[in-house]
Each structure stands twice: as structure tokens, then as C-alpha cells.
Amino acid sequence: MGPLGEKRRIRICHLYPELMNLYGDRGNVIALVRRAQWHGLQPVVEEVSLGTPLDPSAQDIIFIGGGQDREQRIICKDFSRVKGESIKEAVALGVSFLAICGGYQLLGKYYRTSAGEVLEGLGVLDAWTEAGTKRMIGNVVVESTLSGMPRTVVGFENHSGRTYLGEGARPFGRVLSGYGNNGQDGYEGAVVGNVIGTYLHGSLLPKNPWVADWLISKALERRYGEPLKEGELDDSIERIAHEAAIRRASETARRSR
């Protein structure tokens, strides 16, 4: 609680909701709002679209979903003309950030499309993406140490881009089932500071509530100097959904052998 018993406010910025929303990525914002409310916080969602400036210091969590090449091309222009420097500043300030699929690619250095066009990214993640000829589709299980201990992350991937990490980024996790960043090195996603980039749709956060809480906790620590307390919520239903997703991924992997 804040002064006089007021709830602590947490601001969630949803970037380009009408353009970057593949496979129900908007569900991640819904999950952040619900988790924040259940933790006794007051979430405020601001949808920020094309041509609208971004106030980096006002944000606590920023989210951007996935989009195809056409949408990414449009976003790149808006980054260049309007929001790019503000997003970089927000990342430098330690704002929590979740970027999915196409949004993840645009936070890296560049994305080279199948036509050879280079879409310049923001470079906040030490990563780059090259288009491939084969789509990598299916359920994914990842082991991540993001929270300091090994935990599983489940989701769904559908991408032809191959993302590679430089020394300045660490992977979101190690692939147990699925393709991950490129189907070769065994890694999924990228993490730099409080920024997570990942190919996992699903939506990601409802099936992995601990990741939502990590984002919220980092935001609270930055804004109020105090992170979330572990184990405050009953996540038994979420755990059932999470474990069911792991079983489905394992069954799919067995059938494909």
C-alpha cells in the first residue's frame, strides 16, 4: 500500500495493440492486469499506437506482441520517427519489458526478411534475425533460470526467422521441447536487464504466472523500492494448465520421432 492506504499504481504500456497481436498476444496484458490486481496493486493500461510519443519515465511495464513482416515494416518506421529513442531510454531506466516474436525481433539489431530487406531494430537486445525457409511451429517447453532457480516455461511458436544471440544477451532459457530461437543452438529468447524477448505465444503469461510476477516484481522494485513477495497467490489452476501444456508438448515430440 502507498500513503494513506492507497494502492500502489503500476503502469502497463501496450505498444501497437492493433498491429502486433498474433495468436492472442493481448492475453499477456490481461494476465498482467489480473496478477497486479490480485497482488493488491492498481494497474493502469495505456495503449500506445502509431504516431503517439512514449514517456519513458512514466512506464513500469512495456509489452509488444507479434506481427508479420508487413506490420514490422510499419513499426520500424514509427520507431525511427517517433518512439525509438524513448523506448531505448525506458530500457536504460530499467523498465520491465516483454516482447513476443516479431516484437522480439525488432528489439534486436536487425531482421533480414526472406526478400533480403533489412529491417533495422532498436538494438536493445544483442541479437539479430535472419529469415529461414522452414517455419518452426509447435508447442515449446523451456527451462529458464530467470528467477534464479530452474523453472519451466511453456508456449507456442510459429516463426521462420532464426534469431542468434551475441555476448551481450543471455537466453531466456534452454529448449527442452521445440525449436527455440533458431532450431540449432538449443536456446530460446533473450534477456538483457529487465527485458525479455521470446518467440512464445500462447499467451505466454497465463500459462507461466511466475514470469508475469517477475515482470511486476522488477517494476515494483524500480518504482517503489520493494519487489513482490514470493508465494502470495494460489496458482493451482495455472499450474494445472502449465503441466497440461508440458504433457502436450511431450506427446507431440514422441509422435514426431
Per-residue pLDDT tens over the stretch 59-73: 999 999 999 999 999
Counting residues of the chain whose pLDDT is more than 70, the rounded percentage is 97
- Give the catalytic positions in this structure: 101, 201
User: Which stretches of 71-222 are assigned E, i.e. beta strand?
Assistant: 96-100, 110-112, 118-120, 127-144, 151-165, 173-177, 187-188, 190-192, 195-198
| pTM score of the predicted model | 0.94
Say which amino acid occupies 49. S
Judge contact between 161 and 63, C-beta under 8 A: no
Judge contact between 111 and 104, C-beta under 8 A: no
Q: Does residue 4 carry a pLDDT above 60?
A: no
Lowest mean pLDDT among 38-52, 121-135, 142-156, 222-236: 222-236
Q: How far apart (Å, rounded) are the C-alpha atoms in residues 125 and 34?
A: 28
Per DSSP, 7 falls in state P
pLDDT band at 173 (very low <50, low <70, confident <90, very high): very high
pLDDT band at 250 (very low <50, low <70, confident <90, very high): confident
The kind and range of the H/E element at 42 are strand 42-48
17-30 residue pLDDT tens: 999 988 889 999 99
Q: How far apart (Å, rounded) are the C-alpha atoms in residues 232 and 220?
A: 15
Report residue 25: phi and psi, to 5°: -60, -25
Q: C-alpha dihedral over 169, 175, 178, 181, to 10 degrees?
A: 10
Q: Does residue 231 carry a pLDDT above 90?
A: no
Pairing of strands 195-198, 190-192: antiparallel
Q: How far apart (Å, rounded) are the C-alpha atoms in residues 124 and 38?
A: 31
Q: Return the ∠ at Cα 145 (arms to 194 and 34), rounded to 5°.
A: 60
Domains and CATH numbers, the chain: 3-255 (3.40.50.880)
Judge contact between 22 and 16, C-beta under 8 A: no
